[in-house]
Each structure stands twice: as structure tokens, then as C-alpha cells.
Structure 1
């Protein structure tokens, strides 16, 4: 669940429910989605939780795909385990795992500064339920299994978890220092980490068990806010580096914004586990941390972007030509040849039919110009910098656009000009696709704080996501209308003529109009996908070019679409209502996202 949906849609009403109910609603919903066919791909599509290979952490024989993990305090019942495994975490902490379950629920507390403190003790899934959840979830990352119990139970639990990828974690207070052979036995199966509260690290002695442990998990101190725990963590890590230099370090809590995480990594943390702050800040926090770390990475220019750029350029040129034609002759000679109807006769029969055709063709032209601008911008600023998401956005939208030509077959009119246009475009796209197959760079961001610019940016992203989705939905509806009735009631009111009369006048005229709707509907779907994917995947602070792309790329479609209705007098409110809503989303997205995308106030 990305931040734009969590903060704008879900959090307002979830905050009115009890913590337990809202938590289980979110976790179980994510699990259901992840369990559906294609559900994991949907989660990735909406959240794009990808991690650069450079941020992998290898400790002994375990490779963590990312340096940000999830604390077990977030999901003690493991009801969201499968969903969380696809949200970009490099490790998921599970436990405390006891032999028997405990249903005791301890309500989270809210500190004076608003921070959420999750309980140390409370619900425990138990060994049997944990094993069942692990089988069902098929984790894609290693787990940190927090063992709890007597010496005999520790052995039993550790043995049961042997088949699963991960490491063990034991609370310092549960270690029997009179029988450290227990650690030696468990160590044969997996690495062991010792969990110690940050304010207790100087009071414990780990020297006697160092041969059997790999690292220390520095836990947050209950009742303290984020900044206090952050300060304690940094002091604790400094102490551990001096006292136990061979041990690897992980922290729990103390991270509310990307800057906190960067401070911990700079102080020597190998892994950090998000705790109560994750609930408050939102599920996009791991992604924001990874993007902030990437901000200092050097980017080399990638090959193949020029072919994608030319692909977009020719689409824009095609749109400009279509715009000129829609303002002049409207119908072309091959249209007249197919209909066996000259333009003059059409005007004499019903001039509004010609203006109606201009309405479809000008909106198509504006959409093509906008699409070309977006393709060129993604090529130059995205693909050129090796961003995988930009390439995938271009590929998906382009393939859908090419497949849109098949719609013309169902409309009874296939004109050679469209085919020629696609033949010209195809080589440029294919060359770009082949040359850029190796790019895999992940995004970077200037965002470090949960400030006003970020909060407004979340709303701006929501607006653009909804705008892209509305374009796709609108394109599907327009294409569907063309296949079936061709006209909607307001169309016939404007034309002042029923469809039967038009058909009786010329039985091919409606096929040409339907063909125009196919082109417009297909173009809307393709451009809508570009907007949607750019908003979902490219919304990082400092991407000034993305804001300008939305602005400059959006204007041709909106100006052409609204102007032509005014020009021909087709201004029925209900017909233009979707355009007004889209325009509101467009300007809302520009307003709310400007300071965030421009990279202002990020540090």
C-alpha cells in the first residue's frame, strides 16, 4: 500500500477505529491481495518497492536484499506476513516465537509528541501458527526469528525453523550464561543475534558469547520518542564498535523519516527495523529511505534513449499534423473514398456531423501531442539516466498503443494512414527496446523529512495517480462505446439526429466515426498509462523534470479537448464533466506536488 493511498484514502477512517481492528484490517487486506493470482504484481505496480543491488547486505552466508527491515511489533499475529514480504523490506523480524501462542492484546500507546509506541509484550502467534504462516507466505527475503522460551524450548523452536531462510535472535535476558552450549547448538543451524535495549548496552557483557553470535540488535526503549531512541541508538552503536568490533549491528525503531535512517547507517548500522513510526508515517517509508540513500549514487548515461526519444518525437509530429487537419479539411480523401461521400454533401446533410468528427479528431491530436511529449521526457530524463521504471513505462504504454490498432478491425474501417504511421514508429521503438534491455537503476530522492512539502507531495501524487487512472478508464469506455453504440445520448442531442437516420443516409459514415473513437480511445489508454506509471513510479523529490512533464505534456490534451467543444458549440455540462474533473486533478496535482518535486525544503 503506497503512501498516496494510505494517507489520503485509508488513514482518515482507520484512525477512527480501534488500533487492533484497523491493524488487522490493513494486514489481512494486504495478505488477501498478495494471495490473489497476479496480486504480487499488483502490489509491485502500485508501490514499486524496488531495491538497488548496491543496497544488499551480506552477513556471513545470508544476503539481505535491502538494509531496511520490519519489526515484529508491527505484525505480531503474522496476519500480513505475505503482504509485507512484497513491500521492499530486506528482512522481516518474526516473534517472539514461543512454543505456545498468546492472545493477550496490549494496546499501543501514543506519546505526548504524537509518536506511537508499540508494546514489547502481548500477542504471540506460537510455533505451530508461525510455521503455518511461513509456509503460506513463501517469504522472498530472510527472516529474523526471535526465539523465546526455556533452554529446551529454544532448541525445539530453533530446530523447527531450520528449513527457513533467515537468522535467529534471542533476547539477552533469556540467555542462560551457565549453559552457553545451547548457543553453540543453535549456532550450528543459523547465525544468532542478541537483542539488547539501547540504554542497557553498556550494562551487559557479551564477551563470553561472542564466539557464538554474529551481531547485536539494539532495541528501542519503550516510552521514548523517535529522536530520543535515535540518539540512544547512535551512542549504543559507538559503544559496540569499540567494545565488540567483530559484531554486526541492527537497530529497532528510532526512524521516522529518511534522515534518521541515514544517520544510523552513517553510525555503522548494517540493518534497521522500522517500528511504531512505520504505522504513523506510512508504508512508503522503506522506499523513501532507499531513494534517499541512492541520492548520492553516480549515474552514467545509458544507451538507447535516443531511439525512444525519436519515437515520442514522431508521435508528437503526427499529433501536430492531425491537429492541423482537424482544424481545416477534417475528413481526408481516403475517408471520402471509403464513405463514397464528398465533404460538401456531408455538410449539406448535417454540418454538425462534420464538426462532431472534428471534435473526435482534435481531441485525438491533442492526446497524441501530449503522449509524444511524455515519451520524449521519459526518454531524456529517465531512460538516459538508466532508470528501469521509465523504460518499463514507455514499453507498456507503447505496446498497448501498438495493439490499439487492432481495435480498428472491429470498427469496420481500417485506414492505411494509421498503418503507415505505426510502421514508421515501430523500428524506433524496437531499437530503443533492444538497446535499453540492460538498464536496472532504481530512483533517487532528495526527500529527508516528513515536512509540509512531503505531505503536500503525497496529495499531489494522489491527484496524478487518479488522473492517469481516469484517462485509462475513459479510454476503455470510449473504445467500448465505439464498438457498441458509437454515440452517447448527448452526442445525438448535439447532432440533432438519431443514429438510424445517419445510417440510412450513409451506411459507412458511422464506421468512420467509430474508427475515430477507436483511435482516440486507444490513445487515451496509452497516455493514461504513461501518466499513471510516472505518478506511481517516478514521484521522487528533486525530479523537477517530472513536474514540468506533467505541466507541458498535459496542456495540449486539455486545451485541444476543451477548446474543440467550445469551438463547435458542444458544451453540454454532463458531457464535459469528466474533463472538468480531470482538469481539477491536473491542476491539483501540479499545485500540491510542486514544492516536493522541485526538491525544495527536503533536507
Structure 2
């Protein structure tokens, strides 16, 4: 559930149903996907949310992949815990834990733009917590928050039963001090004392006493809240007030581990807390408002604050690979507009160009339209490869390398479609042989490309919101081009023609076979090759749109704007050129153009404006 799908769904559906229903729908759906074979890979493909290695840290013998965690407020039923570790979180809080399930659980409710949480937060019974923790393969640290109303004897039971499955416990100062001082067993886990913002102003003097206990790992400071009856929500300036509290405490106790809970809705707000000394951050309702991509965007903003990207000196072979495909496409376009068929084509079918023209001139026009479309697609692919090399691989972007080589390998495999009907195009074969050594060196130079992108994006402003819809347009565009390429390749390798093709030719397959047994295999070779090229370009557009959208990345907008034009102009122009303008046949292309235009318009403020 990346942001580009979450926000349209949130606006159309989730905001119109009660918070608990929408919460469970999302969490159970994501966990179901994460539990299915290949599900984790799909989540990673769609979101690319794995935390960068730069953010790994160890606190009290617990390794955190990221300082960004998720508060127990968001998932009290533990229905989404399996999916959260795939969304870039470095740890997760569960709770508040109680010994026995309460008779009534008060649900959160929505009021205007706020999610209102009950003052009596939904509880997690110990039995449910153990069931979830034992049945799921959880690979990130787990904090267990114990309910403030749990009695001393119940604390013993809860801690003893959860110790094998969690990495730390969170509770009130009274609970933890009592347990730590009276416990007769060796404490194997760290304990974190939770304070509300109001309590911090009153109990700052207690912190010095607390940190003298070796089992107390640090404190959790909750963002300031506004109480409305029996519900609460964070105040408007929660981040600013929380940052001041963290700074005050950190100035007094520099070595104290401080975890914040809430007060973060944007990457900028997370940077503010990290900047004043917060060691770990837990997201609350800001995560609901901002979307599942918030951890990833925080990581990218924190990286931007740390250092600028390092250039990779080895990117020229990748650039040359894209340039070769671009030039190959231009040559193919020239041939398609002039001779159409080459001497070895004529030798294969046993007919000259003049012979074919005398039999039915529309056959040459039809072949020309496939070859022009292939050439336009190659030119588009070459532009996309060049841009990924110049702006992605050159700047050590791992995602750009994956996009580049995934599409290239699929393109090389497409040569097998050319010979599916027993016809090997020597020109294509020589072109691939020329490309192979270039690609080999390109692949070698890409092995050291392991960098993670950074971003200046700080606020969830209107430009970002429009950009999400623009990103959705381009992701849909890439997916449909990919699907179209698969369909065209399948048709080219099987029945070759669609009904509108035969209507344009005014001939049946049997009639074409009667002209030459090898005429349909030649046409099939063109069609399958065009489909293979579309698959590669579809993958490039899809992965560039999935992984490259960041504030101010002008090259991404330029690449999509310029890179798609040759394919669209060739695809529509060739049909007009030969008179094959059947509306239903061109309808998919018209739809793709609409997606392309809307994508450019909506993403312009986010990608192009500095």
C-alpha cells in the first residue's frame, strides 16, 4: 500500500467508513500479501522501503535497522505487524498489554481531519500478544507497552511470559521502579519509562534517579495531547513542543536514550526531533494522515541532511548501451520508412518488394507500421536507458541500476521471440551481438552501485499530493505498456493477427499463406519483436515511476516527458501514415496518451519546481 495508492483509496473509501474498519481492512490486507509466497518481494518492488544501512544502530544490545518505529496506538489488534517490517520500520510497539481481555474496547473515531483516540486505549490481552508473536516471523525489535492500570502481581506474569518474544518493555515510572526494585530474578530486557508531555514538566527531577537503575534503558516522551471529553488527539504544535522537551532533557542527560511517541507527520518534523537528540521515533496518527511511505521519506530526508550523494565514476558503458539502442532505433526507423523489407527478408519469403506490392500493397504498409512502431519504441527505450545512466547510475543509485538491468535482460531474452516462427533476423542478431559486450561492461560497472537516494522533501504540501496522483498515472502507464507488450508478444508468437489487422489487409491468414509459406512468420517476427521492446520500455517506465519520484527530481519528469514521445508519435503516426485508423484498434494508445498527459501535468509542481 504505497502512498500513490493509499491516498486515492483513503479519499475515496477509507475516510468514509469508521476508523477501526478501515484500519483492519488495510492491516489485514497488507499482512495477507506479506504472508503469501512472493508477497514480501511484491511489497519491496512497489515501495522500495527497506531502511538504508546508514541508519542501523545498537541500543542496549538490540540492533535497530532504523530509528523509525510504529506506536501501539496504530495496531492494537496486531493484525498488521507482519507487514510493518516490510514498510521500512526499525521497530514496533505492541500494547498496552493487559493480562485478560477487557469486556469493552472503545474504538477510535474520526472528527474532521483528526483521528480521536479513546482515553481508555484499546488493550491487547497477553494471550493474543503471545499468539501473534509466536506465529509470525518478526525480524525487527518489539517493544511491549504494559497498560498503566496493570497491577504489580500481573506485571510479573506479563513480563515473564513476554520476555522470550520482545526486546524491551514500556511502562509508567511507578510500575517500572516497583518492578525493578522488587524483582528477585535477573532482568533480561531493558525497561523504558513512559511520560506524557505534561508529566515531563513535573518529573524532570526524577529522571536522574531513574537512570541510575541499570535495567532502565531510557524514557519515552509522548507528544502533547488535547483532551476532548473521553477522547484525545495531538495538539496542532505537537512537534514543536515535543522537540523543546527532548532538547531540555538531552541537555541535562546527554547519555539518556530518548524515544518519542507521536508528533511526526512529515519528514521535516522527524528531522527536527532527531536534530535535538531523539534516539528513536514512534509514529502515531501522523502515519495515518501521511501514509505508509512516511518512514521511507523520513529516511531520505535524514540522508539529505547527512551528506550529498557520491558520484560513481563508472557509468559510461551504461550510457553507451542506451546510446546504441537509440541509434539502432533511428536506423530501424529509416529502414521502415524507405525499403521496409531488406534483401534477406525477400530471400526468406521468396518474393521481392515489387512482387508483394503487386499482390497487395497493404501488406507492405502493414509490415511498415510494425517496424516503425518497433523503431519508435527502441528510441524511447534508448532515451530512458541514457537518463538512468546519467542521473541514476552516475550518482550511485541502486534503484536505477536495478531498473536498468532488469529491462536490459528482458530485452536480450526477447531475441528468442524473433525466431519463434523459424525466422532469424540477421540484422537483429548482429545488433544484439554488438550490444552484448557493451552490456557486459555495463553490468560489471554496476556491481558497485549500492547507494540509497536522499530527498529534500520535508512537507506534505499540495504539490506532493498532486505528485502522488501524477505518480499513479505513470505507474499505471508503465504497467499497461508492460501488459500490452506481453499481449502483443503472445499474439505475435501464436495467432499473429487480430481481427482489425485482417480487416485492414482485406485478406485472411490462409490467403497470406497461399502467397508464401514464410510471409506470416516474417510478420510474426516483427510483431513479437515489437512486443518484446514494449515489455522492456514498460518495465523502465514502471520502475522509474515507482522508485524515482522525489521532490525536485527534474530529470525524472524530463525523462518521462521526452522518453515517451518517440513511442507515442511512432505508434499513432504510423497508423495515420498507412491509413490504419480503426478507433477500437488505437483506443489503448489513446488511453495511454491521456495517462501520459495527466501524469505530466500533475507531477510538474512536485518534480520540476525547485
Shorter chain as denominator, the TM-score bin is: over 0.9
Distance 1:319 1:330, change over 3 A: same
525, 532, 536: which one aligns with 2:535: 525
Distance 1:58 1:110 in 2: 38
Deviates more, 1:539-548 or 1:245-254: 245-254
Provide the residue aligned with 2:279 in structure 1.
270
1:430 maps onto 2:440 in alignment = yes
SS at match of 1:273: strand
Deviations 1:365-422, CA, capped at 9 Å, x for gaps = 0110000110010011001110000000011111111111122232332212222211
Which residue number corresponds to residue 134 of structure 1?
133
The C-alpha deviation readout for 1:187-209, integer Å capped at 9, x for no partner, is x3122211111121122223333
| Conservation of the 8 A alpha-carbon contact between 1:377 and 1:549 | yes
* Residue 193 in structure 1 maps to residue 203 in structure 2: no
Report the counterpart of residue 485 of structure 2 in structure 1: 475
Matched residue of 2:260: which SS?
strand
Which residue, 253, 258, 264 being the options, matches 2:267?
258
RMSD between aligned alpha carbons?
Answer: 1.8
Shift of 1:11: 4.0
1:387 aligns with 2:387: no
Using the TM superposition, give the Cα deviation of residue 465 of structure 1 relative to its aligned residue in structure 2, in angstroms: 0.2
For 1:538 and 1:364, the matched residues in 2 are separated by 26
Structure 2: which 5+ runs fail to align? 227-232
Partner of 2:467: 457
Tell me the distance in 2 between the aligned counterparts of 1:361 and 1:414: 16
Indicate whether 1:281 and 2:290 are aligned. Answer: yes
Shift of 1:294: 1.8
Query: Are 1:14 and 2:14 matched, yes or no?
Result: yes
Q: Is contact 2:392-2:400 (8 Å) kept?
A: yes
Counterpart residue number, 2:167: 166
Summarize the alignment of residues 201-280 of structure 1 with structure 2, pairs less than 5 Å apart.
Answer: 201-204=200-203, 205-210=206-211, 211=213, 212-223=215-226, 224-225=233-234, 227-280=236-289
**Aligned match of 2:82:** 82
Residue 226 of structure 1, CA deviation: 5.1
Tell me what 1:369 maps to: 379
CA contact (8 A) 1:411 1:482 kept: no
Q: Is the contact between residue 170 and residue 195 of structure 1 (CA under 8 Å) also seen in structure 2?
A: yes
The 3 A distance-change label for structure 1 pair 163 and 599 is farther
User: Is 1:559 aligned with 2:569?
Assistant: yes
CA contact (8 A) 1:262 1:293 kept: yes
Partner of 2:67: 67
Shift of 1:40: 0.1
For 1:549 and 1:523, locate their aligned partners in 2 and report how far apart those are by CA, in whole Å: 18
CA 1:442–1:427 in structure 2 vs 1: closer, same or farther (change >3 Å)?
same
Q: Tell me by how many angstroms 1:110 deviates.
A: 4.1
Report if the CA contact (8 A) 2:107-2:122 is conserved: no
Distance 2:19 2:111 in 1: 15
SS in 1 for 2:589: helix
Alignment of 1:27-176 (within 5 A): 27-102=27-102, 104-110=104-110, 114-119=113-118, 121-148=120-147, 149-164=150-165, 166-175=167-176
| Inter-partner Cα distance in structure 2 for 1:251 and 1:261 | 10
**In structure 1, distance between residues paired with 2:234 and 2:168:** 28
For 1:155 and 1:376, how far apart are their aligned partners in 2?
Answer: 63
**Partner Cα separation in structure 2 for residue 202 and residue 539 of structure 1:** 42
For the 8 Å contact 1:199–1:221, the answer to whether it is kept is yes
Kindly provide the CA deviation profile for residues 111-161 of structure 1, in whole angstroms up to 9, marking residues without a partner as x: 56x232333534333222212212333122111121343333323322333
Query: Do the aligned partners of 2:89 and 2:295 also contact (CA within 8 Å) in 1?
Result: yes
Within a 5 Å distance, the mapping from 1:538-553 to structure 2 comes to 538-553=548-563
Is the CA contact (8 Å cut-off) linking 1:459 and 1:589 kept in structure 2? Answer: yes
CA distance in 2: counterparts of 1:232 and 1:271, whole angstroms: 17
| Correspondence for 2:333 among 312, 323, 338 | 323
Which stretch shifts more, 452-461 or 217-226? 217-226
Q: Is the 8 A contact 2:19 2:110 kept in 1?
A: no
Most deviating of 538-547 and 97-106: 97-106
Deviating more after overlay: 144-153 vs 307-316: 144-153
SS of structure 1 residue aligned to 2:23? helix
CA shift at 1:185, angstroms? 4.7
Contact persistence 1:202–1:239 (CA under 8 A): no
Q: Greater CA deviation, 455-464 or 4-13?
A: 4-13
* Counterpart in the other structure of 2:229: none
**Which shifted more, 31-40 or 54-63?**
54-63
State the partner residue of 2:526: 516
**Superposition deviation, residue 176 in structure 1:** 5.1
Distance 1:392 1:382 in 2: 10
Residue 438 of structure 1 aligns to a residue whose secondary structure is: coil
> What CA deviation, in whole Å up to 9, does each residue of 1:241-272 have, x standing for no partner?
23433311111111111111111111111111
Three-state SS of the structure 2 residue aligned to 1:295 is: helix
Find the residue that maps to 1:361 and give its secondary structure: helix
Where 1:427 maps in the other structure, the secondary structure is helix
The number of aligned residues is: 597
TM-score (normalizing by structure 1): 0.95
Q: Distance in 1 between matches of 2:140 and 2:180?
A: 29
| Preserved contact between residue 111 and residue 225 of structure 1 (Cα < 8 Å) | no
- Which SS does the other structure have where 1:417 is aligned? helix
| TM-score, normalization by structure 2 | 0.94
Structure 1 CA distance, aligned partners of 2:166 and 2:458?
Answer: 32
CA gap of 1:559–1:364, structure 2 versus 1, over 3 A, is: same
Secondary structure, in 3 states, of the residue corresponding to 1:116?
strand
Unaligned residue ranges in structure 1 (runs of 5+): none
Using the alignment, how far apart are the partners of 1:173 and 1:578 within structure 2?
A: 66
1:295 positional shift = 1.8
Give distance in 2, aligned partners of 1:19 and 1:98.
Answer: 23
Work out the CA distance in 1 between the residues paired with 2:194 and 2:183: 14
Moved more, 537-546 or 438-447: 438-447
For residues 441 and 431 of structure 1, what CA distance do their matches in structure 2 show? 20
Deviation at 1:103, TM superposition (A): 6.5
